[in-house]
Amino acid sequence: MLIVLSGTIGAGKTSLTSILSEHLGTKAFYEPVGDNPVLPLFYSNPQQYGFLLQMYFLDKRFKSMKQAQSDDNNILDRSIYEDALFTDLNHELGRITDEETDVYHHILDNMMEELPFAAKKKRPDLLVHISVSLDTQLKRIRQRGRDYEQIENDDSLLDYYKLLHDKYEKWYEDYNASPKMIIDGDIFDFMNSREDAYRVVQMIDDALILMGNLPEDFEGKPLDQILEV
């Protein structure tokens, strides 16, 4: 079973990935953020480091996708399927040139052609998309406290987050690599509410059972042993 999560910056993907991986007994693959040497550079100078950042992420996501597809039980907090969304947005904002964008898409296309042959699992079993309002997104970005992500430190970030938020809606509509489901992160505050976390996990369990990825009597690791909220 391979599950991939998606959602804008600050949606709560890492938190939900951690909960689900323990509950389902799967290995978790996390987006390289904390140890990413390019990300702070990008936020300080997007025009100079936009292309480098996207190539860094593309390389890491391709590697994680291959590793995750090589086993039967894995979950990724962000996958290669949404990588181009960020590149195209930065191209639209003038942070990545036409030539750099063409190179990126050529490499991405080659990777996507190779991916089905790189491991025994050909595609994800389920995409779990976390949808949040811009207000919730900004609140969670403030809560996790990365200085280079704060709109108070860079006025242009608010416009970037707004554009990214809007583009994710169409991206989810167009996604067709696997079955998909959406979690409303405004209604279900699984990061701060134990009750909401229970409900979200049960929704995902039900979807996996319906698709035949879990037995009907599946219980998994009790959330009381996982949740800290």
How is residue 151 written in tokens? 């709109």
Kindly report the three-state secondary structure assignment for every residue of 24-74.
Answer: HCCEEECCCCCCCCCHHHHHHCHHHHHHHHHHHHHHHHHHHHHHHHCCCCE
CA distance 57 to 35: 12
| Tokens 């063409």 sit on residue | 102
| Tokens 């992500």 sit on residue | 149
* Residue 88 annotated in active site: no
The active-site residue, picked from 35, 72, 77, 125, is 77
The burial class, CB within 10 Å (0-12 / 13-18 / 19+), for 151 is middle
3-state secondary structure of 72: coil
Q: Cα 97 to the chain's mean position, in Å?
A: 25
The burial class, CB within 10 Å (0-12 / 13-18 / 19+), for 227 is middle
CA distance 140 to 130: 13
Helix-helix angle 46-69:98-118, to 10 degrees = 10
User: Which residues are known catalytic residues?
Assistant: 77
